């Protein structure tokens, strides 16, 4: 997904850095437990749990490699570089596509409404890729029109 | 895996090309059906089935991107470049590691013997990475010693 959509990043990106970031970030979430985007309570200690997981996992690698990966994980979390922003846009877009293809499975399960989806996704996705945000907007409207997501 | 083990490739590789190759190659196998490495009968029309799958899948992409991916898939299949050889080494190493961690699940299921494993994997893995082949050899001996793989 990162590779195929690369041309849509707002700024030119080093794609190897992006691929490393999305993988590193997901490994940490697998270890720390992924927090549901719209879950405010579980979101509270997310950062601390993920930091502990990152430190533990990347200490398993040779020192130099571990340090590089911790650095990339922190760069992703800070959201300051073009790579971090594009990687985060993909990380948000992917669950929207999953919800589209499952007719809103997790949205329905948790009673999510479209304004929550806009609020949580627009800032992140549009900062990484304006064209991917345009696509995401269409996807959300289509989901509301088809009853996958509440208005 | 491609990223973390990059330094072990026999020749310097363009890692983006390697990542694209392994992903493209696996997508084709998902579509065409993966052929069990030691299955001589199913192996006979493997190339033809995979070629059809590759043509179909990559025609779904914009023309320029599709052509790039078909080109990389063919480069992988030809096994002439450093990237293709390193990618193929990873593609062979990974199932060995899975068999180690499942105490020889597919080896036992199909009654595979260690000489078959050596014959099928040594040429491919060692051409991509001598150090990864050294590791694979240890893994195979360890599997025989522990009864995961027949002598």
Nearest residue in A to B15, CA atom = A16
Average pLDDT over residues A49-77: 92
pLDDT tens-digit map of B61-118: 999 999 999 999 999 999 999 999 999 999 999 999 999 999 999 999 999 999 999 9
Predicted local confidence at residue B40, as pLDDT: 75
pLDDT tens-digit map of A13-32: 999 999 999 999 988 888 88
Partners of A61 on chain B (C-beta within 8 Å) are 4
Residues 6-65 (A) with a CB less than 8 A from some CB of B: 15-16, 19-20, 23, 61, 65
Smallest Cβ distance to A19: which of B19, B61, B65?
A: B19
Say if pTM beats, i.e. exceeds, 0.90.
no
Residue A102: what are its φ and ψ, rounded to 5°?
-110, 20
Q: Taking 90 as the threshold, does the pLDDT of residue B45 lie above it?
A: no
CB neighbour burial string for B2-41, b if at least 16 within 10 angstroms, e if fewer: beebbebbbeebebbbbbbbbbbbebbbeebeebebbeee
Nearest residue in B to A65, CA atom = B4
User: Mutating which of A2, A18, A19 best tests the B interface, going by the most B Cβ atoms within 10 A?
Assistant: A19
Question: Taking CB atoms and an 8 Å limit, are A20 and B3 in contact across chains?
Answer: yes
CA distances from A87 to A23, A95, A129, A151 (A): 10, 13, 10, 28
pLDDT greater at residue A148 or residue A40 = A148
């Amino acid at each position: 997904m990162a590779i195929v959509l690369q041309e849509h990043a707002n700024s030119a990106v080093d794609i190897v850095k992006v691929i490393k970031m999305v993988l590193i970030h997901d490994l940490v979430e697998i270890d720390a437990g992924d927090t549901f985007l719209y879950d405010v309570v579980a979101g509270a200690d997310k950062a601390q749990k993920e930091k502990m997981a990152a430190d533990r996992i990347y200490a398993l690698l040779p020192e130099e490699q571990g340090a590089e990966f911790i650095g990339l994980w922190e760069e992703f979390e800070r959201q300051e570089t073009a790579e971090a922003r594009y990687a985060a846009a993909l990380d948000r877009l992917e669950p929207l596509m999953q919800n589209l293809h499952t007719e809103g499975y997790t949205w329905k399960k948790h009673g999510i409404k479209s304004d929550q989806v806009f609020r949580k996704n627009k800032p992140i996705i549009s900062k990484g890729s304006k064209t991917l945000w345009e696509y995401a907007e269409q996807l959300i409207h289509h989901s509301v029109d088809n009853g996958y997501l509440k208005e």
